[in-house]
Amino acid sequence: MIDAIELANAARAAAHGRDLAVLGEQLQRRGMDVDVLIEQVRAFEVAVPSWALGTGGTRFGRFPGTGEPRDVFEKMEDAAVIHRLTGAAPRVSLHIPWDEPGDARTLRDHASALGIAFDAVNSNTFQDQPGQAHSYKFGSFSHTDAAVRRQAIEHTLHVIEVGQRLRSDAITIWLADGSNYPGQMHLRKSFDRVLDCLQQVYAALPQGWRLFTEHKPYEPAFYATVVQDWGSSYLLAQALGSRASCLVDLGHHLPNTCIELVVARLIGAGKLGGFHFNDSKYGDDDLTAGSIDPYRLFLVFNELADALADGTLDSPPAYMIDQSHNLKDPIEALLQTVDQLQRAHAKSLLVDRAALTAHQEANDVLLAESVLQAAFSTDVGPLVAEARRRQAGAIDPLAVFRASGYRGQKREERAAAAYAPPQSL
């Protein structure tokens, strides 16, 4: 892949150089230094979800592609390709037990040999596993039966142990807990039980670890979800302590929710822990980020850039992707996603914050809005391409990936003899 990148970058060097020079001259006239911006974009990193490296599906069907990873070891190979091509995806977020490694140490060594590390791990108390003593049909941390809650806590502590062996330092806890009919579940007691269980997990959190609570308005519960909105998530994170914070999945908001305001609130409260980036038109569609509403994605990054600029945030929260690739090749969709996130991030850096503040203070609605639109309507393509090139990545990752024939090669390899994961290195 490395040679393919160098060859393709060389072929594009002249055109890319001209495009970058034109953008650089434009930005200079706006008082911005393109090299400073490129370095800021180079610092942008996002974690790839292990569960999105294979084809996703819905209850109506799944149409798997060929040459897809057969297990978590092959998923690391594909994640490494995404990082190699973009220079911006050095970590994978694992979901347990979906991607439970037989031997965490072997997986960690395999991944590090590929230049991949591990971001937040994800627990799963929304599905029953074979041989599981108690069902999560009526919830996990909110369940009325203490034995079910105990089982869910044990699972979550196990996920943290696996994460420790992978040298992760955070866990994301999303609970499907909720009800489908009024009266089915006590709306306050269920929440109190969730808090009690989270407090037991928080008390066992290893040194330096963080815990992210993830809210979602509905699905699979269709009347009330225990951790339904950012307010519920905030109440939990606040009650747990300084190492607990809220994770914002962009798809977990009712239509027309001003998600950038949710982000601003959590930043202001010092409880914004991380993101699951994706896009959606209706529900939790898990479409590729920036595919439906790129302006909304930009406005989220604008809140982050504003808070990093005024010091309210001293470092970016945890950036992770959470998508389901039902139709697109998973690697291609993730390459597209990383590019969209780099672009939204780059555009947020182009906002003239002094001018914006002046127009806001003067209630000059039109000029305040225009400052954001000027940044959003700037084609930052050459800037993010250059950031990737300086990361030894590809100016055009998708073109290099397609030209590399990687998927075809994997189709042969992964169709061949039964796969034998690498023995302990």
Can you give the binding site for ligand LRH, defined by CB under 6 A?
51, 122, 174, 214, 216, 249, 276, 284, 322
Residue 44 touches which of ligand LRH, Mn ion, none (CB < 5 to 8 A by kind)?
none
DSSP sequence for 356-393:
HHHHHHTT-HHHHHHHHHHHHTS--HHHHHHHHHHTT-
Least CB distance from residue 400 to ligand LRH, whole Å? 29
Residue 339 touches which of ligand LRH, Mn ion, none (CB < 5 to 8 A by kind)?
none
Kindly tell me which of 173 and 351 has the beta carbon lying closer to ligand LRH: 173
Kindly tell me which of 106 and 218 has the beta carbon lying closer to ligand LRH: 218
Kindly tell me which of 278 and 391 has the beta carbon lying closer to ligand LRH: 278
Least CB distance from residue 43 to ligand LRH, whole Å? 25
Chain residue at closest Cβ approach to ligand LRH: 174
Pattern 315-334, Mn ion, x by CB under 5 A: -------x------------
In the block, which residue shows the tokens 């038109």? 281
Strands 121-122 vs 178-179: parallel, antiparallel or unpaired? unpaired
Amino acid at 299: L
- Which of 80, 15, 21 lies closest to 50, judged by CA? 80
The Cα–Cα gap between 219 and 95 comes to 18
The Cα–Cα gap between 284 and 174 comes to 14
Least CB distance from residue 326 to ligand LRH, whole Å? 14
Q: Within positions 255 to 284, which residues make up the interface with Mn ion, using CB under 5 A?
A: 276
Residue 177 touches which of ligand LRH, Mn ion, none (CB < 5 to 8 A by kind)?
none
Least CB distance from residue 263 to Mn ion, whole Å? 15
User: Which one of 78, 99, 249, 286 is in contact with Mn ion (CB under 5 A)?
Assistant: 249
Residue 396 touches which of ligand LRH, Mn ion, none (CB < 5 to 8 A by kind)?
none
- Which of 340, 339, 343, 344 lies closest to 400, judged by CA? 339
Residue 122 touches which of Mn ion, ligand LRH, none (CB < 5 to 8 A by kind)?
ligand LRH
Least CB distance from residue 162 to ligand LRH, whole Å? 15
Least CB distance from residue 320 to ligand LRH, whole Å? 9
Least CB distance from residue 186 to ligand LRH, whole Å? 23
Residues 6+ apart with CB under 8 A from 212: 120, 170, 171, 172, 173, 244, 245, 246, 247, 273, 274, 318
Question: Cis before residue 182, ω within 30 degrees of 0?
Answer: no
Phi, psi of 178 (to 5 degrees): 175, -165
Question: Cis before residue 316, ω within 30 degrees of 0?
Answer: no
Residue 389 touches which of Mn ion, ligand LRH, none (CB < 5 to 8 A by kind)?
none
Helices (H), 30-123: 34-42, 72-86, 104-113
In the block, which residue shows the tokens 């306050």? 188
Tell me the two tokens of residue 362: 């003067």
Q: Within positions 373 to 402, which residues make up the interface with Mn ion, using CB under 5 A?
A: none
Kindly tell me which of 122 and 156 has the beta carbon lying closer to ligand LRH: 122
Least CB distance from residue 336 to Mn ion, whole Å? 19
Kindly tell me which of 283 and 421 has the beta carbon lying closer to ligand LRH: 283
- Which of 77, 66, 80 lies closest to 412, judged by CA? 66
Kindly tell me which of 67 and 274 has the beta carbon lying closer to ligand LRH: 274
Kindly tell me which of 210 and 276 has the beta carbon lying closer to ligand LRH: 276
The Cα–Cα gap between 224 and 385 comes to 44
Binding footprint of Mn ion on the chain (CB under 5 A): 249, 276, 322
